[in-house]
Structures are given as structure tokens and as C-alpha cells.
Amino acid sequence: MKLLVTGGSGFIGSNFISYWLEKYTRDTVINLDLMTYAANPLTVKYHQKLFGERYHFIQGDICNFNLINDLVKEVDLIVHFAAESHVDKSVENSSIFVRTNVLGTHTLLEAARINGNKRFHHISTDEVFGTLELNSEAKFDESTPYNPRSPYAASKAGSDHLVKAYFETYGLPITITNCSNNYGPFQFPEKVIPLYITRLLNNKKIPVYGKGLAVRDYLFVLDHCKAIDLVITKGKIGESYCVGGDSERNTNQVAEIIAAKLNKPYELIVHTADRPGHDPRYAINHAKITRELGWNPTISFEDGIDFTIEWYKNNESWWKPISSKAEEIAEKYLQSVNKKS
Ligand SMILES: NC(=O)c1ccc[n+]([C@@H]2O[C@H](COP(=O)([O-])OP(=O)(O)OC[C@H]3O[C@@H](n4cnc5c(N)ncnc54)[C@H](O)[C@@H]3O)[C@@H](O)[C@H]2O)c1
């Protein structure tokens, strides 16, 4: 089988390519990625070295219809990861989020439709469902109404609606996964876990938004890749599947766990101004994918964090060249403390 993977130089897409090509040894992948600030050219080199001719990289934009149309003709399956993915960035400037996440997804769907209704799997997020009360037992599932609260979440919700509309209107064979927060190797250090690891490794302060009580459900990226595989190969066409890690942690806990594992003093943990519209809690009920496809998260938060810390320790040459953008964001938040005090 030949796959078109979009955003395969980003965090989850690159882990997925490794996972898929290692498991399906006769398959080939075209990775189409614009190589925005969130992508790392070293990841492309890594895949080229590892998979040779089974991996083909094209630098390009999912909004470029002619390019997409030519590529879609060649493949059996489209797995769509490409997105603007950082909530903070969407708060500052949302235009690129609408362009990439909504128009880019539409371009791919249109190409899939006019080329014989190609199989299409869309990667989405639990953030489309909005937020949950901090101290409740409630969780998101496939029947939760959409209620996005950040420009990022709204643009992902828009893309999900388009994907579903292409199934209903044109019978495009789609599936969607709505997943909770991922962490693991190859994650750009603007995101909380690699940000904390890479800064603490250098004895730098780490910013914790507000009181640090916002809860996220963390999933190790390999478990997400396995869920996507199951949905692609065994999922019911037209359906969405919620994927979560059964690992709810608030930001204080994440910061303290990482500091403790790295033997760093808690004084490096600094509470900053909160993110505007910061959602208090996300949590996923993954009963549907467990019941129908037999998926469960297999890697505990403790083990996943240990693995991730080791990876960042051993792969400084991967993250060092791209860390300046992440450093800027962290320093900006740390300044918000200095201004207040
Ligand atoms: N990271 C998470 O915790 C998480 C959780 C649930 C869902 N998701 C979803 O998973 C997908 C991948 O997330 P990620 O964390 O790997 O993101 P990422 O930011 O690490 O990677 C995104 C990739 O998309 C590429 N890209 C951006 N605009 C593009 C364009 N116009 N054309 C082609 N490529 C473009 C970037 O260069 C980058 O390589 C996203 O759709 C995201 O919404 C992420």
C-alpha cells in the first residue's frame, strides 16, 4: 500500500511514519510537509536513512491544490496530520490556523473526492469538545457536542465537520481520531513536556501557567500511533474514535515529576500569567475504541516520561538547533511574572 502522510515531519506524523513503515514492511510513504517552524529537517534525514526508497519526502503546502491532486492520484490512503497545532500561537494570530487547518483539510478532501473517493483518515484533538469541570468525573466521548474554545480548537473542529460532511455528502471513506495530549520523542520543545525537559536539562526556569491546576490527559505517542493503525485497518467508515491515555495530570504535577526525575530543584518551577481562555480540564472516555477495536493505552505516564526524558537527553543534536522559538515563548511567559511582581 502507498500512503500520503501530511505533516510527517512534525511530532506525531513522524512517529507514525516510523511505526507504520516498521510494521508494514512492503508499504511506502510519501511525506508531504511544508516544513514550518514546527518541523525538523533532521527528522526527514532520519527517515531517509532508516527507510531508503520506501520513504519519499516532498516539501509542500496542503493548500496547494495542484500539488495535492497529483499526489493523491498516486496513493491508496491519506493520513492527515498537517496542522498548525500550538494553542498559544493561535491566541496571538489565528489566520494561519484557519488557512492550514480548515482550508488545507478541505483541499485534501476535495482531491480525495475527485480521485475516486480515496480512503482518508483525519487526526484530530479532544480540544474540539471544549472543556470539563476541574473536579468532576465527566469525560469526553464520541457523543460529546463540539464546543471549541480556542482558535486552534475551532479550526480543528471546522476540519472535523468538513471531513464528516464529505462522508455524508459524497460517501468519502473517512475515519477520525480525536486524541488527548500526546508526548514522546520528536516533539517540538514549545510543547509543555519537551519544554520542561529541555529547559531543566539546562538548569533554566520553567513556566507553569496560572496556578498550574489545568488538567490534561496524557498519552504516549506510540499508543496513539497504534490507535490510528487500528482505526485505519479495522475502524468503521464514517466514524470518529476518541483516544486517551487514562493519565490525567495537572501542570504542577507534570512540572514536579519531570524536575524530580531530573534531580532539579522545585525552585526552577515558576508560576506565570495564565493563558487567555485556558481550559481547566480535558479527559477522554475511550470505551468505544476499546470495545470495538480492542485498543487500550499500554504505556504508563511514569514509563513514558522516563523514556521521553532519556530520548531528549540522548538527542540534544535533534532539539538544540530548533529550540530558540520555544525559548522565546517560555521567556515571554516568565516575563509576565516579573511584570506582575
Ligand atoms: N500534539 C498533540 O498532543 C495532539 C493531540 C491530539 C491531536 N493532535 C493533532 O495531531 C496532528 C499532528 O500534531 P503534532 O503535535 O504532530 O503537530 P506538529 O506541530 O508537531 O506538526 C505539524 C506538522 O504539520 C506541518 N504543516 C503545517 N502546516 C502545513 C501545511 N500548510 N502544509 C503541509 N504541512 C504543514 C508542519 O511543518 C509540521 O511538520 C495535528 O493535526 C494536531 O491537531 C495533536
Where residue 283 sits, what CATH number does that domain have? 3.90.25.10
* pLDDT of the residue at 19: 98
Alpha helices in 93-208 (DSSP H): 95-97, 105-114, 151-170, 192-201
Does residue 341 lie in a domain region?
Answer: no
Residues near 290 by beta carbon (within 8 Å), at least 6 away in sequence: 296
User: What span, in angstroms and rounded, lies between the C-alpha atoms of 258 and 210?
Assistant: 18
* pLDDT of the residue at 332: 74
User: What span, in angstroms and rounded, lies between the C-alpha atoms of 55 and 43?
Assistant: 12
> Do residues 130 and 27 share a domain?
yes
> Do residues 206 and 235 share a domain?
no
> Do residues 233 and 262 share a domain?
no
The preferred substitution site among 6, 58, 85, 155 for testing ligand 1, maximizing ligand atoms within 8 Å of CB, is 85
> Do residues 199 and 145 share a domain?
no
- Residue 241 CA, chain-centre distance (Å), reads 15
> Do residues 233 and 296 share a domain?
no
Q: Give residue 226's domain range.
A: 2-183+218-243
Calculate how far, in angstroms, residue 63's C-alpha sits from the geometric centre of ligand 1: 14
> Do residues 52 and 121 share a domain?
yes
Residues near 14 by beta carbon (within 8 Å), at least 6 away in sequence: 8, 43, 47, 186
Quick one: which of 143, 85, 81 has its CA closest to 285?
143
> Do residues 136 and 279 share a domain?
no
DSSP 254-300: HHHHHHHHTT--GGGEEEEPPPTT--SB--B--HHHHHHH-----S-
Total count of domains within the chain: 2
* pLDDT of the residue at 89: 87
Does residue 176 lie in a domain region?
Answer: yes
Distance set, CA 70 to CA 17, 53, 88 (Å): 21, 19, 34
> Do residues 77 and 165 share a domain?
yes
> Do residues 228 and 298 share a domain?
no
Largest distance between two CA atoms of the chain:
61
Where residue 227 sits, what CATH number does that domain have? 3.40.50.720
User: What span, in angstroms and rounded, lies between the C-alpha atoms of 222 and 225?
Assistant: 5
Do 112 and 172 meet the contact criterion of CB atoms below 8 Å apart? yes
Instruction: Give 10-residue mean pLDDT values along the chain (341 residues).
Output: 98 98 98 96 97 98 98 98 92 94 98 98 97 93 97 97 98 98 95 96 95 96 98 98 97 98 97 84 97 98 98 96 78 67 36
Pocket of ligand 1 (CB under 6 A): 6-7, 9-13, 32-36, 38-39, 61-63, 81-85, 100, 104, 123, 125, 156, 179, 181-182, 188
Does residue 340 lie in a domain region?
Answer: no
* pLDDT of the residue at 331: 79
Minimal-distance CA residue to ligand 1 atom 28: 83
C-alpha cell at 9: 515531519
* pLDDT of the residue at 340: 44
Q: Which residues pair with 78 in a beta bridge?
A: 4, 120
* pLDDT of the residue at 123: 98
Do 1 and 229 meet the contact criterion of CB atoms below 8 Å apart? no
